[in-house]
Structure formats: structure tokens, C-alpha cells
Amino acid sequence: AITRNFSSSAPQIAIKTVTVVGGGLMGSGIAQVAAQAGQNVTLVDLRPELLDKAQKSIQNNLTRVGKKMYKDDASKVEHFVNDSFNRIKVSTQIEDGVNADLIIEAIVEKLDVKQELFNKLDQLAPEHTILATNTSSISINEIGAGIKRKDRYGGLHFFNPVPVMRLLEVIKGEGISDSTYQTMMEWGKSIGKTCITCKDTPGFVVNRLLGPYSAEALRMYERGDASKEDIDIGMKLGGGYPMGPFELADYTGLDTNKFALQVMYEKTENPVFKPIPLLNRMVAEGKLGIKTGEGFYKYK
Ligand code: CAA
Ligand code: NAD
């Protein structure tokens, strides 16, 4: 549906239907916040068991949100949860999700796999559909290199946990039109996020700044300057962060951390992003953080 014109020539569309491809940690959160805001959502993943897992986690997190909104009113909570949950259809077939106003990709962080998906989406989706990637460290221009609709493409970078973190980074690709950019900003607001804008640069705003912070914390610990526990306490009580750098690394995943640093180092050659032997060793040993039961701390 066409609602209003912004400064550019192309009309801006109101997003009513959203498809999220990839039903993991981020994709399930994105599906949840869109459904909570009254939008119809299709969540696509390759494996049915991952869709089951996503649905369970969405139901739990909706209940958390509902309890916060409606306190002790159990029937209102139940109504909110069911209403939002029922707006999310799930499928293992991408074809079931292409008829949407906005398609957000939240699959594995691999350039070639993302490119293949976008090329397919570009062919299958209707003319007006906007395509977006939630990549945390890959260049969005590289991901979208093969698509034709470069004016209807950009980055929508969410933060973990999606239902709680209030920020959305809107990343401008080289061909993005004014109306697509405005639609993305409006959509972010419609799901309750505060949007900031960044060019397609390594790490965008938040990861570009979190990278050197987290890398220096690791080096500090590696050098034996302070214990990881004390560094964490220091940044929580002295820096005002909700988690210390080691707790955050375990939460985000050490593999994700390593990959993000690697990409930023390759693209910027800034020595602050240089590989960190301790991080590489832990990733090689499979100590990836909360998801494997052990990272800098143990979780079993
Ligand atoms: N869904 C819904 N609500 C959730 C939730 C979820 N998945 N996880 C936590 N919450 C809610 C809780 O219900 C709770 O609500 P109330 O305060 O109203 O009771 C609130 O969030 C706080 O949760 P907890 O009490 O369980 O725990 P906490 O106080 O330790 O907070 C946290 C948890 C929100 C994760 C907080 O520690 C935090 O903000 N940590 C930093 C996270 C961060 O920096 N994320 C960004 C990482 S970088 C990134 O994501 C980008 C990338 O590309 C890698
Ligand atoms: P995840 O591993 O939890 O989920 C990825 C999901 O995508 C899996 O369920 C997998 O089955 C599915 N998948 C893989 N290839 C697919 C395909 N071709 N079609 C459909 N589904 C497919 O990963 P995640 O942590 O949710 O990350 C997803 C994306 O979000 C990545 O690009 C990551 O960089 C980005 N991101 C992650 C975080 C974070 O903190 N984890 C934060 C911001 C952005």
C-alpha cells in the first residue's frame, strides 16, 4: 500500500508484511518484534527443528514482554502472546516468504551463502519488496553485489537480545534510494527501535567501537595485567556497561568476536583489530561461550 511521498520521486511504502530468513538467535528476535508491532511475519529456516526451537523461544520471550506490559493481568498477557505469536507463520521454503514488503536476511555470516540468497530473493520477490541484511561485519555492498534492485536494498543491523536492545543501525548501500532509506527508518520506529544511520563501513558504528574495546580487554588479560573477573567488574561498575567485556564475549560468541575482528582488520589494517592468540586458541578448542557451555566462564 502506498501511503505518502517523501522528498525523492519514488513513493514510500508502509511495511505491513515482513519475512525473516534465518530463524536463529537474531532472526527469531526480529520476527518477534515485528509481530509484536502488529505486522504479519513469515519466518524461514532450512531446518524444521530450528523453526520449532525459534517458536519456543519467541513464545517465552513474548511472555516476558507481556508480563512486563500487563503485570498481573494474566488474560491480557495471554491475549498479547497469542495475538503476536499467531502473526508469525513458519516455513522451510523461501518461496513461501517472498511475497512481503520487507525481507530481512539473518542467516549464517558467510558472504557466498548470503550472496546466493539475495540473488534468489531478487529474482523471486515482487517489484516493491525491500531487501535487507542483518550482517554484523560483512560489507553490505558486497553481499548485494549481484542484485538488480540496489535502490531497494540496505542493512538493518539489530543487537542481541533483539527484544531488549533499543538500537537499530540502518546501513546505506551504494544504490539505496531516499524512499527506501526513509521506509527503513520508519519501519525501525514502528517496531519500537531508535535508528541511527551509517555508511557501509567495517563494523558500522557499534561493532567498530566495541571491537577495539573488547580486543584490548583480551590483551590486558593475556598480559596478566588484571584478572578477567576484575576487568569485568571494572567495566560494569566503573564504565557503566551492563556486562563486562568477557561476559559480553561469552554472550555474543567467541567465534563471532573473532570473525568480526578479522574482517575489520582485513578491511582497515588498523592494528587494534590484529588477531589475538588467546581468542584464536579458545575458538579452536570449541570454547565459544554460553552456546557451547564454556567460554571465559563455565555455564553448566
Ligand atoms: N527477550 C525479552 N526480554 C528479555 C530477553 C529476551 N531475550 N533477555 C532479557 N530480557 C529482559 C528481562 O526480562 C529483563 O526485564 P526486566 O528488567 O523488565 O525484568 C531485562 O531484559 C533484563 O534481563 P535480566 O534481568 O535477565 O538480565 P540482565 O539485567 O543481566 O540483562 C541483558 C540482560 C539485557 C542481556 C544485559 O546484560 C545487556 O544489555 N547486556 C549487553 C548486551 C549487549 O551489549 N548486546 C550487544 C552485543 S553486540 C551485537 O549484538 C551486535 C553484533 O553484531 C554482534
Ligand atoms: P544463528 O546461527 O543463531 O542463526 C542462523 C540461522 O540461519 C540458523 O537457524 C540456520 O539454520 C539458518 N540458515 C543458514 N543458512 C540459511 C539459508 N540459506 N536459508 C535459510 N536459513 C538459513 O545466527 P545468528 O546469531 O542469529 O546470526 C544471524 C546473522 O545476524 C549473521 O549475519 C550475524 O552476523 C548477524 N548478527 C548476529 C548478532 C549476534 O550477536 N549473534 C548480532 C547482530 C547481527
The pLDDT assigned to 72 comes to: 82
Q: What is the mean pLDDT of the chain?
A: 95
- Res. 5: pLDDT tops 90: no
Please tell me the distance between residue 166's alpha carbon and the centre of ligand 1 in angstroms.
Answer: 10
Q: Assess contact for 278 and 218: CB atoms under 8 A.
A: yes
pLDDT score of 14? 86
Sequence-ordered list of residues with C-beta below 8 angstroms from that of 235, at least 6 positions apart, any chain: 217, 241, 244, 245
278 CB-near residues (< 8 Å, 6+ apart): 218, 221, 222
Q: Under CATH, domain 207-292 is a member of which superfamily?
A: N-(1-d-carboxylethyl)-l-norvaline Dehydrogenase; domain 2 (1.10.1040.10)
Give the sheet arrangement for strand 153-157, strand by strand.
88-91, 40-44, 17-21, 102-105, 130-133, 153-157, 167-172, 194-199
Helix (H, G, I), strand (E, B) or coil at 35: helix
> pLDDT tens, 33-66?
999 999 999 999 999 999 999 999 999 999 999 9
Counting ligands in written order, the one closest to the CA of 67 is: 1
17-21 and 102-105 as β-strands: parallel, antiparallel, unpaired? Answer: parallel
Read off the pLDDT of residues 67-114 as tens digits, 9 standing for 90 and up.
999 988 999 999 999 999 999 999 999 999 999 999 999 999 999 999
- Over residues 154-163, the pLDDT tens digits come to 999 999 999 9
CATH of region 2-199, choose from 3.40.50.720, 3.10.450.40, 3.30.70.1050, 3.40.50.1010: 3.40.50.720
Q: Contact, 181 vs 187, CB < 8 A?
A: no
Q: For the stretch 101-115, what's the b/e string if a residue is b when 16 or more beta carbons lie within 10 angstroms of its beta carbon?
A: bbbbbbbebeeeebb
For ligand 2, say whether the CB of 176 is within 6 Å of any of its atoms. Answer: no
Domain assignments of the chain as residue spans, ordered by start: 2-199, 207-292
Residue 12 has pLDDT above 70, yes or no: no
The number of the ligand 2 atom at minimal distance from the alpha carbon of 259 is: 34
**pLDDT tens-digit series, residues 137-156:** 999 999 999 999 999 999 99
| Residue 246 grid cell | 568477557
Q: Dump pLDDT digits (tens) for 257-271.
A: 999 999 999 999 999
> Which of 146, 216, 207 lies closest to 171 in space, CA to CA?
207
Q: Give yes or no for residue 136 having a pLDDT over 50.
A: yes
pLDDT digit string, tens, across residues 177-204: 999 999 999 999 999 999 999 999 999 9
Indicate whether residue 175 lines ligand 2 (CB < 6 A). no
Dist CA 158 CA 172 (whole Å): 15
Q: pLDDT value at position 7?
A: 42
Q: What ipTM does the predicted assembly reach?
A: 0.96
Query: Is residue 47 lining ligand 2, measured as CB closer than 6 Å?
Result: yes
Per-residue pLDDT at 8: 44
Angle formed by the axes of helices 74-86 and 48-70, to 10°?
150
Q: How far apart, in whole angstroms, are the C-alpha atoms of residue 120 and residue 127?
A: 14
- The predicted structure's pLDDT at residue 17: 98
Q: Which ligand is nearest to the CA of 110?
A: 2
Query: So which residues are the catalytic ones?
Result: 136, 157, 169, 207
Of 82, 38, 44, nearest to 63 by C-alpha is 82
Asked whether residue 124 carries a pLDDT value surpassing 60, the answer given is yes
Greatest Cα-to-Cα distance within the chain, rounded to the nearest angstrom = 60
Q: What pLDDT, on a 0 to 100 scale, did the predictor assign at position 300?
A: 83
Is residue 134 within 6 Å of ligand 1 at its C-beta?
no
Would you say the CB of residue 252 lies under 6 angstroms from ligand 1? Answer: yes
pLDDT tens digits, 279-298: 999 999 999 999 999 999 99
CA of 135 from ligand 2 middle (Å) equals: 9
202 three-state secondary structure? coil
Residue type, 254: L
pLDDT over 70 at 227, yes or no: yes
Is residue 30 within 8 A of residue 134, CB to CB? The reply is yes
Asked if residue 1 has pLDDT above 90, the reply is: no
pLDDT(9) > 50: no
**d(CA 133, ligand 2 centre) in Å:** 10
- Stretch 117-132: mean pLDDT, rounded? 98
